[in-house]
Amino acid sequence: MASRAERRLSLLRTAFGRRDFLRGLAVGAAGATLPTALLVDGCGKPAAQGALPAAAAGPTFLTGEEAAALGRLADWIFPADGASPGGSALGVVPYVQGYLTAFERSVPFVYAGGPFSGRQPLPGPDGSPSKLSPSDDFSSFVPLDRVRELNWRLTLYGSNAVPGGGPTDALSGPTIGLRDQIRATLQAALAAAKGPLDALPDSQVETIFDGLGSDQQALLVELVLEGVLSAPEYGGNVNGAGWALAHFPGDSAPLGYSLFDPATQSYSDRPGFPVTTADPGPDPDPMDAQTEAIIEQLVGLTGGRKYY
């Protein structure tokens, strides 16, 4: 019998197209589902046009065939929509390559630095935007302490790659590393396709995806969402286009949304991003009656109540 979560996701996918489903899932649950290490600095305005994602120039783990399969699956999970890019164009493949090769660099490719990305200007004397910007501290990664390094190596490589194995192996069995999981998933998809996935139509890719195990499906969806929404320094979200699709304005520091004027000791709202009043602009994605009905059903399934 399907779990409550499985029934809920099935209901969502039935009501919405794949793109709307994934975007809604991403916006509503990103903070709860994506690894903290990949979101700790994961907010900002679009990077400079044409900028090369940091992970794109780094080491690789996936073979060319596996990378192409991942790109095709990413485009099925998060398809292009008119002028909006799909998963592969948004950098899912370089994001995953960077994730899986985090320890093949001088500093592990896990925690981006801070505090500023350089995507927002410094405030002027009166708190308004100046013409000066800080450097991109996100592009410099932070060394891991001993405990965090052990945890990430266990996550990526599994129990066999950690001296003495995983700390919970005796209770829950050995940990299978993410590298082995994603390789097995992509190889299963390639085997089902009996060749490359790149040229297959959506109908066949859907059949292949549906034939994967539920854990493999969940892994692909999670990685695609991370690649679409993570900070550009991790290799995905190329030019901030993933944030733009979610109508997320990006990291606000050091400018902020409440602009402080020391001369008057007062705050004012940043134009276009009010915090003391409702956003004056139109709803970029208004919900229709069907969408509201689906949300009400989901609230009921989770035992919640309607307060409006």
- The model's pLDDT over 259-308, given as tens digits with 9 standing for 90+, comes to 999 999 999 998 888 889 888 888 887 888 888 888 888 888 877 776 66
Residue 24: pLDDT band with limits 50, 70, 90? low
Name the DSSP class of 184. H
What is the arithmetic mean of pLDDT over 167-185? 91
**Distant-in-sequence, close-in-space partners of 170: CB < 8 Å, separation ≥ 6:** none
Report the distance separating Cα 217 and Cα 145, nearest Å. Answer: 32
The answer to whether the beta carbons of residues 26 and 228 sit under 8 Å apart is: yes
C-alpha closest to that of 287 among 9, 5, 15, 10:
15
Q: Is the sign of the CA dihedral 114, 115, 121, 124 positive or negative?
A: negative
Report the distance separating Cα 161 and Cα 144, nearest Å. Answer: 18
What are the backbone dihedrals phi and psi of residue 61, each rounded to the nearest 5 degrees, phi first?
A: -115, -45
What are the backbone dihedrals phi and psi of residue 284, each rounded to the nearest 5 degrees, phi first?
A: -70, -25
> Which residue range is the domain that position 40 belongs to?
22-252
Residue 298 lies in a domain: no
Give pLDDT, residue 8.
Answer: 42
Give pLDDT, residue 30.
Answer: 39
Residue 25: pLDDT band with limits 50, 70, 90? low
254 prior amide bond cis, ω within 30: yes
Q: How many domains does the chain have?
A: 1
Name the DSSP class of 141. B
What are the backbone dihedrals phi and psi of residue 59, each rounded to the nearest 5 degrees, phi first?
A: -65, 160
Counting residues of the chain whose pLDDT is more than 90, the rounded percentage is 57
Residue 121 lies in a domain: yes
Residue 259 lies in a domain: no
Longest dimension (CA), the chain: 70
> Which range among 28-32, 177-181, 222-226, 291-295 shows the weakest confidence by mean pLDDT?
28-32
The answer to whether the beta carbons of residues 177 and 123 sit under 8 Å apart is: no
Residue 170 lies in a domain: yes
The answer to whether the beta carbons of residues 230 and 38 sit under 8 Å apart is: yes
Q: Per-residue pLDDT for 21 more than 70?
A: no
What are the backbone dihedrals phi and psi of residue 260, each rounded to the nearest 5 degrees, phi first?
A: -100, 130
Q: Per-residue pLDDT for 14 more than 70?
A: no
Q: Per-residue pLDDT for 184 more than 90?
A: yes
pLDDT digits (tens, 9 = 90+) for 122-163: 999 999 999 999 999 999 999 999 999 999 999 999 998 888
Report the distance separating Cα 101 and Cα 81, nearest Å. Answer: 31
**Distant-in-sequence, close-in-space partners of 46: CB < 8 Å, separation ≥ 6:** 119, 232, 239, 240, 241, 243, 244, 250
pLDDT digits (tens, 9 = 90+) for 30-75: 334 334 334 333 333 333 334 445 555 789 999 999 999 999 999 9
Compare 13 and 200 and report the one with higher pLDDT: 200
Residue 214 lies in a domain: yes
Report the distance separating Cα 223 and Cα 66, nearest Å. Answer: 14
Residue 6 lies in a domain: no
The answer to whether the beta carbons of residues 8 and 84 sit under 8 Å apart is: no
Which tokens sit at 235?
């290799």
Residue 158 lies in a domain: yes
Residue 168 lies in a domain: yes
